[in-house]
């Protein structure tokens, strides 16, 4: 090992730590919170919404939700309209894209008439609810959740306002370890500070922040400024905000700022920790009640705002907003309409940039009628599951209390600005003590070029094609050998599989017909639609539209069609793919296969399980199916997995597209959802009947029925390779190094050769 | 009285006593000295301030009337805010 600079000894440039997970040689590593070290890795997810789950079978409203990270539970407080308007709370556990609930428990038998405030007090490790109790007075109770059964109990009820109290909102100040509660009192706006001790809460003296009447208040805590922002509809019914500062058990306020000089309703506030900005969403009555968002910046005890941005150009009766700290975006849920009976529940993801905010495409989370102008939607972010929970009253279903789990699209890394340690000097297994070359050491980095395949989003046409007209004039399906030297097509003129040779592997422009064919007419009939080759080339499978079965064939010599024989084994899929069965694909170990079919004209994927790999005599339907009609419609064709079964792809010849679906559990169709990634081949052909991946997903081959032609695409990217002496390198979020700073920006060091790098001290 | 009118719409947004000071900048408008509140969504480039207004409607409310510097007219799109008691 070589050293430079002021390093006095080997010990000063090396760190010894226990590996958590395997550590390859020459890779950057990070130190974990428990002192172990791990490779830098990314995790990612694509957007998905789980099915609705009922937590209250009766009429519910005034919904308020919070997440308790100490026990990994969601707490939803609501008014149980069917039970004397009792204040009620229920505890939920997020699992994947679903949530399960304990039994709703009453925390107040006084009839609630106004919004409920709810916070998670990190100091106490408790959720606290603030509500209108007996005689309409402001009350609070500290919640204790038993995560073993999701039961919830409450501390002694405490009063924070012995008078009529409305429009209650609260947020926890992590710096002060206290909660600021705002509320309407005697046609003014008042705030008070609450302090939790054990299962009880006490309050300081109240402070008036608005001498005018306030309604629709909402709070958020700015963790950077260590201030609470309160928003409300104040004087002149305008949207207003103030910055609150806790001192002891008192609260004071900066100057009131008008952020909307028009009637503003249903304010909700969230703090975006990524941009260090506050986002206020509201219904702008001065602009046709459109759903509107504005970004606020706290400076000292004041707040200033950017320009308001409309996120829903329709009446937006109520809103909720929550910050997704994993995706680093805000999620807004709202009813799209004016509460007239056609208000689908929608959510939209907002990205803050500077003092403005932009939005993605809204998605429906409840195809019914959600909420009304009375705080009927609330959201919380589960930072363990990395998912948002949207709780709401479903007006299309007797106002039942329901929740959905929303998975935001994200890519995150375990690399931070602080935890980069250095590079491994060798490969280590988990649990071994690894030597990490740290600041000042010269490390030989891993310069292996890594190619990533199956990148449908990066697909580009190679300007290479192959006409297969000489063997088949109605080609419907295609396969390519693992080594890329053989290409097989099947069609409905010859009712046979035809074998072609690619003289340059994976390059269809070098293809020539082998004049080798295998007729399947006597087994699979004359309407074959799908074909899949076992990767070792000893078997292939066909689907047909005539008998709606899967057929198995064996090649005694791998990928040599001349050695093919029918296994005399077929599997009936007519009970599921009752119409137009098309493509077929096996997972990587041959224990599952998916078939695309069109029962009742609806494009649907069906999953079948095999007790013996690639033996369809052992197949059975899994009862898992996925409706893909929104993408594929009536002209679907092929289906293919990626290499690790976490994705599959479906082609549509009516849309000339190939669509990507992600599975959160590998090979499990029940966990699949559309990824919003697709690739259109229309520039080459308007009739893809099927497609196939080649070369570990680096190539994509699309079979055109109308052109009798195979079109070739590249679908990969490469990372790694030699480094350049004198060049500064940065650690990337995926564990590689590069010449440009990533997010977060972490310097790896400076290269001194094509392989060696001085580790940044 | 003095009124702050949004120039582009001619909507009267604020009606204030003559002795209330206004500090308009390119960023915002500070009402009062010391500040009573800050108007964050309007600024010196987006408003017209008229002093000495004597004919404001008795039921003046922000956005309910247009003001052209001399005369007031009703905003036909004005909708009374919803009830503000309870929730």
Interface confidence, given as ipTM, is: 0.90
Question: Which 3 state secondary structure label does DSSP give A150?
Answer: coil
Q: What are phi and psi of A444, to 5 degrees?
A: -85, 115
How far A412 CA lies from chain B's nearest CA (Å)?
35
Six-digit token string for A307: 């320009």
A498 contacts: CB under 8 Å, gap ≥ 6 = A468, A471, A472, A488, A489, A490, A491, A513, A514, A516, A517, A561
> Model confidence at A336, in pLDDT bands (50, 70, 90)?
confident
Is A262 an 8 Å CB contact of chain B?
A: yes
The rounded distance, in Å, linking the Cα atoms of A547 and A543 is: 9
Is B25 an 8 Å CB contact of chain A?
A: no
Query: Residue A655 has what pLDDT?
Result: 65
Which chain B residue is nearest to residue A317, measuring alpha carbons?
A: B82
Is B59 an 8 Å CB contact of chain A?
A: no
Which chain B residue is nearest to residue A308, measuring alpha carbons?
A: B41
Angstrom CA distances, B56 to A474, A547, B21, B72, stand at 81, 83, 19, 7
The dihedral over CA atoms of A296, A297, A303, A307, expressed in degrees to the nearest 10, equals -40
Is A534 an 8 Å CB contact of chain B?
A: no
A132: part of which helix (H) or strand (E)?
A: strand A126-132
The rounded distance, in Å, linking the Cα atoms of A350 and A320 is: 12
pLDDT in tens, A403-455: 999 999 888 889 998 999 999 999 999 999 999 998 888 888 888 888 889 99
Query: Residue A677 has what pLDDT?
Result: 85
pLDDT in tens, A15-62: 899 999 999 999 999 999 899 999 998 887 778 888 899 999 988 889
Which chain A residue is nearest to residue B81, measuring alpha carbons?
A: A263
CA-closest candidate to residue A463, choices A717, A712, A703, A715:
A712
Query: Residue A663 has what pLDDT?
Result: 87
What is the CA angle A293-A295-A300, rounded to 5?
Answer: 145
Q: How many CB atoms lie within 10 A of CB A585?
A: 23
The rounded distance, in Å, linking the Cα atoms of A513 and A224 is: 68
**Residue from the list A166, A259, A261 with its beta carbon closest to the beta carbon of B87:** A166
Q: What are phi and psi of A48, to 5 degrees?
A: -155, 150
Is B39 an 8 Å CB contact of chain A?
A: yes
pLDDT surpasses 60 at A664:
yes
Angstrom CA distances, B47 to A37, A258, B74, stand at 59, 15, 19
The rounded distance, in Å, linking the Cα atoms of A539 and A561 is: 10
Give one DSSP letter per residue of B28-78, joined into a string.
-EEETTTTSEEESS--TTTEEEE-S-----TT--TTSEEE-SS-EEE-TT-
Angstrom CA distances, A549 to A130, A515, A527, A542, A624, stand at 61, 28, 11, 8, 18
Cβ pair A395, A338 in contact under 8 A: no
pLDDT surpasses 70 at A130:
yes
B66: chain A residues, CB-CB within 8 Å: none
The rounded distance, in Å, linking the Cα atoms of A665 and A663 is: 5
How far A215 CA lies from chain B's nearest CA (Å)?
6
Six-digit token string for A591: 């224990």
- The position carrying tokens 């980095």 is A445
* Residue of A261, A284, A289 to mutate for B, most B C-beta atoms under 10 A: A261
Which chain A residue is nearest to residue B75, measuring alpha carbons?
A: A286
B38: chain A residues, CB-CB within 8 Å: 255-258, 302
**Residue from the list A237, A258, A303 with its beta carbon closest to the beta carbon of B41:** A258
Output b/e per residue, A722-746; b: 16+ Cβ within 10 A.
Answer: ebeeeebbbbbbbbbbeeeebeeeb
Which residue did the predictor score with more confidence, B62 or A4?
Answer: B62
Six-digit token string for A126: 């408790």
pLDDT surpasses 50 at A4:
no
Six-digit token string for A519: 């007729």
Query: Residue A360 has what pLDDT?
Result: 86
Is A512 an 8 Å CB contact of chain B?
A: no
Six-digit token string for A289: 């009640």
CA-closest candidate to residue A177, choices A104, A105, A246, A115:
A246
pLDDT surpasses 70 at A2:
no
How far A228 CA lies from chain B's nearest CA (Å)?
18
Q: Does the model's pTM come out above 0.90?
A: no
Six-digit token string for A478: 């295609």
pLDDT in tens, B28-71: 999 999 999 999 999 999 999 999 999 999 999 999 999 999 99
How much of chain A exceeds pLDDT 90, in percent?
A: 72
**Residue from the list B40, B61, B82 with its beta carbon closest to the beta carbon of A304:** B40
Question: Which 3 state secondary structure label does DSSP give A638?
Answer: strand
Query: Residue A367 has what pLDDT?
Result: 79
Is B52 an 8 Å CB contact of chain A?
A: no
> Model confidence at A688, in pLDDT bands (50, 70, 90)?
confident
pLDDT in tens, A612-626: 999 999 999 999 999
CA-closest candidate to residue A577, choices A553, A552, A603, A551:
A603
> Model confidence at A676, in pLDDT bands (50, 70, 90)?
confident
pLDDT in tens, A219-245: 999 999 999 999 999 999 999 999 999
The dihedral over CA atoms of A107, A110, A114, A120, expressed in degrees to the nearest 10, equals -20
Query: Residue B82 has what pLDDT?
Result: 67
B84: chain A residues, CB-CB within 8 Å: 213, 215, 233, 237
The rounded distance, in Å, linking the Cα atoms of A651 and A631 is: 9
Residue A239, beta-bridge partner list: A233, A260
pLDDT in tens, A340-380: 556 788 999 999 999 999 998 888 888 776 655 554 799 99
The rounded distance, in Å, linking the Cα atoms of A229 and A253 is: 9
């Amino acid at each position: 090992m070589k050293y430079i600079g002021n390093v006095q000894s080997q010990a000063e440039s090396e760190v010894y730590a226990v590996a958590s997970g395997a550590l390859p040689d020459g890779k950057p590593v990070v130190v974990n919170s428990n002192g172990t070290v791990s490779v830098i890795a990314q995790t990612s997810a694509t957007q998905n919404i789980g099915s609705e789950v009922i937590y209250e079978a009766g009429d519910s409203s005034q919904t308020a939700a919070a997440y308790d990270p100490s026990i990994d539970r969601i707490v939803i407080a609501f008014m149980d309209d069917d039970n004397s308007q009792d204040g009620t709370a229920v505890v939920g556990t997020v699992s994947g894209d679903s949530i399960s609930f304990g039994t709703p428990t009453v925390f107040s038998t006084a009839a609630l008439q106004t919004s409920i405030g709810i916070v998670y007090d990190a100091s106490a490790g408790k959720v606290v609810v603030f509500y209108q109790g007996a005689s309409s007075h402001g009350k609070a109770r500290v919640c204790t959740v038993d995560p073993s059964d999701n039961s919830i109990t409450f501390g002694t009820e405490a009063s924070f306002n012995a008078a009529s109290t409305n429009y209650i909102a609260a947020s926890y100040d992590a710096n002060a370890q206290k909660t600021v509660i705002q509320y309407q009192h005697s046609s003014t706006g008042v705030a008070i500070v609450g302090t939790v001790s054990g299962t009880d809460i006490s309050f300081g003296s109240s402070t008036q922040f608005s001498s005018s009447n306030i309604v629709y208040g909402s709070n958020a805590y700015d963790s950077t400024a260590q201030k609470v922002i309160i928003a409300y509809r104040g004087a002149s019914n305008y949207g207003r905000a103030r910055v609150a500062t806790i001192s002891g058990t008192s609260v004071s306020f900066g100057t009131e700022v008008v952020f909307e000089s028009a009637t503003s309703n249903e304010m909700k506030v969230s703090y975006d920790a990524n941009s260090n900005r506050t986002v206020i969403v509201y219904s702008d009555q001065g602009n046709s009640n459109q759903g509107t968002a504005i970004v606020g910046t706290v400076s000292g005890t004041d707040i200033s705002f950017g320009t308001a941005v409309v996120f829903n150009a329709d009446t937006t009766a109520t809103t909720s907003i929550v910050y997704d700290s994993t995706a680093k975006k805000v999620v807004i849920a709202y009813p799209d309409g004016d509460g007239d009976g056609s208000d689908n529940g929608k959510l939209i993801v907002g990205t803050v940039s500077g003092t403005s905010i932009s939005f993605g495409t809204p998605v429906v989370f409840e195809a019914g009628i959600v909420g009304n102008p009375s705080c009927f939607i609330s959201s919380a972010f589960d930072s363990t599951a990395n998912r948002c929970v949207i709780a709401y009253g479903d007006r299309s279903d007797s106002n039942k209390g329901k929740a959905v789990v929303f998975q935001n699209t994200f890519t995150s890394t375990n690399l931070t600005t602080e935890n980069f340690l250095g590079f491994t000097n060798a490969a280590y297994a988990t649990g071994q003590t690894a030597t990490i070359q740290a600041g000042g050491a010269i490390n030989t980095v891993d310069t292996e070029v890594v190619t990533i395949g199956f990148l449908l989003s990066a697909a580009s046409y190679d300007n290479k094609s192959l006409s297969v007209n000489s063997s088949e004039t109605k080609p419907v399906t295609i396969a390519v050998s693992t080594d890329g030297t053989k290409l097989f097509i099947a069609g409905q003129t010859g009712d046979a599989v035809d074998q072609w040779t690619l003289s340059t592997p994976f390059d269809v422009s070098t293809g020539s017909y082998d004049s080798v064919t295998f007729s399947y007419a006597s087994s699979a009939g004359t309407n074959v639609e799908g074909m899949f080759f076992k990767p070792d080339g000893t078997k292939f499978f066909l689907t047909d539209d005539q008998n709606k079965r899967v057929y198995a064939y064996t090649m005694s010599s791998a990928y040599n069609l001349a050695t093919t024989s029918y296994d005399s084994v077929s599997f009936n899929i007519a009970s599921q793919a009752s119409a137009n069965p098309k493509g077929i694909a096996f997972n990587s170990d041959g224990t599952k296969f998916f078939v695309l079919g069109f029962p009742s004209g609806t494009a649907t994927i069906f999953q079948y399980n095999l007790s013996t790999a690639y033996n369809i005599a052992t197949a059975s339907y899994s009862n898992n199916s996925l409706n893909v009609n929104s993408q594929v419609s009536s002209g679907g064709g092929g289906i293919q997995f990626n290499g690790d079964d976490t994705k599959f792809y479906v082609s549509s010849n009516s849309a000339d597209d190939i669509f990507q679906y992600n599975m959160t559990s590998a090979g499990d169709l029940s966990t699949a959802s559309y990824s919003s990634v697709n690739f259109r081949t229309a520039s080459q052909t308007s009739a893809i009947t099927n497609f196939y991946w080649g070369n570990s997903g680096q190539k994509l081959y699309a079979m055109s029925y109308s052109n009798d032609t195979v079109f070739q695409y590249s679908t990969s990217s490469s990372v790694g390779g030699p480094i350049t002496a004198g060049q500064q390198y940065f650690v990337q979020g995926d564990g590689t190094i590069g010449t440009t700073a990533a997010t977060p920006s972490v310097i790896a060091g400076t290269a001194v050769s094509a392989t060696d790098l001085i580790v940044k001290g | 009285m003095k009124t702050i009118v949004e120039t582009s719409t001619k909507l009267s947004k604020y009606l204030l006593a003559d002795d209330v000071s206004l500090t308009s900048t390119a960023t915002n408008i500070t009402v009062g000295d010391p500040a009573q509140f800050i108007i964050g969504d309007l600024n010196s480039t987006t408003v017209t301030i008229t002093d000495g207004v004597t004919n404001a409607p008795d039921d003046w409310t922000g956005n309910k009337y247009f003001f052209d510097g001399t005369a007031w007219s009703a905003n036909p799109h004005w909708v009374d805010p919803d009830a503000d008691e309870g929730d």
